[in-house]
Amino acid sequence: MAKMAASLVESGEDAFRKIFKFYKRRNPPPDFSAVIDFSKGLPSDKIVPAILDPSAVSDVEAARVGLQSVRDWRAFSLQGYPGFIFISNPFLLGSQPFWVRQCLKTYSQKPNVCNLDMHMSPSDTQDIWQKSVHSLSSPHSGKRKTKTLLDRLRWVTLGYHYNWDTKMYSANHYTPFPADLHLLSTQITAACGFQDFNAEAGILNFYLSDSSLGIHVDESELDHSRPLLSFSFGQSAIFLLGGLRRQDPPIAMYMHSGDIMVMSGQSRLLYHAVPRIISAPQGCTALEMEGCSLASPQQDCSVVEAVSEEDWAVCSRYIQSSRVNVTVRQVLGPGQSFPDTPSAHQRTDVGQTVGYQDRAADGESKKRKRSSSCDPVGTAET
């Protein structure tokens, strides 16, 4: 990978774009040997342990949102990428299914906004889960002939709703941010040394097996001093982390279900992308196995609830071939407010687009040249 990137730079070509296309390639399939896999903990001169603050989050507080004790987290940083922290699945066994259900069943509900609102009436998108559950929970052989609304879901916005056309947030397009996701985000950021983080906006990206997220940078928030969080659930993905310039060659890493990335400081404005979803053998993931032994809440005040067998049947069927990415960001700094007119830095997040090959069928082809979550908004399937 390093040799390939060097040769591209020397030839004056866009190294990031070339490497993106390399990993996106289907035939012949790319060589994944250079992709960093934090779950394996293999030694590397680029990977160093990240310093966390276990005293910032008690074991009880962590367990409330389904997290292990901070002292047990496997967190890493990368040499040359200051502010980037990768946490390899810190969730307690049996808690991920709750967050998957929240993404698919709860966060897709109104008043939150989704891509289907662009070309369907509010009544048609009122309860995406309920209108999809029968088809997704019914036994079937092969592919379903008719896509459910959940199958057609591509993105959902929370809190301050990102405007894909203007690439901005605004004070008058806001709905309450989910309290459970807010608490999860503040526990993660506190452990990483960021106190008083305020989760104000979220973008959920839903990836099919042939989806990708284009090269982009997350800069639409008015305050870049606060970190951006990215949660991954379901199938694994290749994540590319580049530099401050779009042409800088990126480093490749796997994002598995339960993994969390924190982008802060200089890495907050680095270019990144997701060129490929990596399906597990026979579609089976560790997360699906977790669902077979769902954990009961460990304490009365726990945010995480046991997921019913009926709900998990739908979630499990969905993630057999799909990935959900949740990015959370703070939009405004302390005492900051939205300007009356758009500021110069609230411009488009360059080159960012989630490439779903069936977008045309959903009537959204050209509309989604947007930033996305890893991040659209300068978004993030961070």
Tell me the backbone φ, ψ of residue 77, rounded to 5 degrees: -120, 170
Three-state DSSP string of the chain? CHHHHHHHHHCCCCHHHHHHHHHHCCCCCCCCCCCECHHHCCCCCCEEECCCCHHHCCHHHHHHCCECCHHHCEEEEECCCCCEEEEECCECCCCHHHHHHHHHHHCCCCCCEEHHHHCCCCCCCCCHHHHHHHHHHCCCCCCCCCCCCCCCCCEEEEEECCECCCCECCCCCECCCCHHHHHHHHHHHHHCCCCCCCCCEEEEEEECCCCEEEEECCCCCCCCCCCEEEEEEECEEEEEECCCCCCCCCEEEEECCCCEEEECHHHHHCCEEEEEEECCHHHCCHHHHHHHHCCCCCCCCCCCCCCCHHHHHHHHHHHCCCEEEEEEECCCCCCCCCCCCCCCCCCCCCCCCEECCCHHHHCCCHHHCCCEECCECCECEC
Q: Is 345 annotated as a binding residue?
A: no
| Ramachandran category for residue 206: left, alpha or beta (phi over 0 → left; psi -120 to 50 → alpha) | beta
Q: Is 272 annotated as a binding residue?
A: yes
Which residues are part of a known binding site for Fe cation?
A: 216, 218, 272
Which residues are part of a known binding site?
A: 216, 218, 272
